[in-house]
Amino acid sequence: MTWLLVLGLAYVIGAFPCHWWACSRPHSEQNGVGYAQLPLKEAFLLLVIDLVKGMAATLLGFALLGWVGAYLAAILVVVGSVYSCFLDFRGGTGLGVAAGVLLILSPILVVVGVMIFILAMLLVRSLFVATLLTGVTLFLFGMVLATHVMVWLIVLVLCVVIWSRWWGKKPRSYSRYKKPPWRKRW
């Protein structure tokens, strides 16, 4: 019973749409509920909320069920964020929640992942490609840094859940609107 309660609560924590009260104007899935479409203060607030959601669910699973509970709660909080039952199973990207999860499971991977994600976003200007590169390199860095095998599997499952959001869709590129930072017009 404790397992079902903790895992169900982890899904609800991830699925709860915090942007309803954190954002000053209404956003829909068509307009995008991403960090790029928000003012800087609201984007930072939403990122902190997503980090706390991932950390809280993982710590709850660890406190009540041990490491296995933390791993399962980590997966379910990201699934809840990506496929929210409150938003007709069309939630957010799950990147902030996944970063909060990894902050508890392996903090060094978060530091490496943030650097790779920022570098990839600056170079390719595509959220899908940056997420893909970050997921693959986090998995490889997890092997190099000799983290626990379960953390490798969790990173792999989280990447599959996050990438499943984009399967069958054409990835959006921001390069149409912004030129890469290293090119200058003379």
The average confidence (pLDDT) of the chain is: 79
Classify residue 186: in a domain, yes or no: no
Classify residue 112: in a domain, yes or no: yes
Q: How many Å apart are CA 20 and CA 38, to the nearest integer? A: 13
Model pLDDT, residue 31: 44
Task: List pLDDT tens digits, range 115-140.
Answer: 998 998 888 877 778 888 888 888 78
Residue 29 has pLDDT above 50, yes or no: no
- Using an 8 Å Cβ cutoff, are 130 and 179 in contact? no
Classify residue 29: in a domain, yes or no: yes
* Domain of 18, in residue numbers: 2-164
Classify residue 157: in a domain, yes or no: yes
Q: What's the sign of the alpha-carbon dihedral 73, 70, 131, 156?
A: negative
pTM, 2 dp:
0.75
Classify residue 182: in a domain, yes or no: no
Rounded to whole angstroms, what are the CA distances from 150 to 70, 110, 155, 157, 173? Answer: 11, 16, 9, 10, 33
Count up the domains in the chain and report the number: 1
3-class secondary structure, 76 = helix
Classify residue 75: in a domain, yes or no: yes
Residue 145 has pLDDT above 50, yes or no: yes
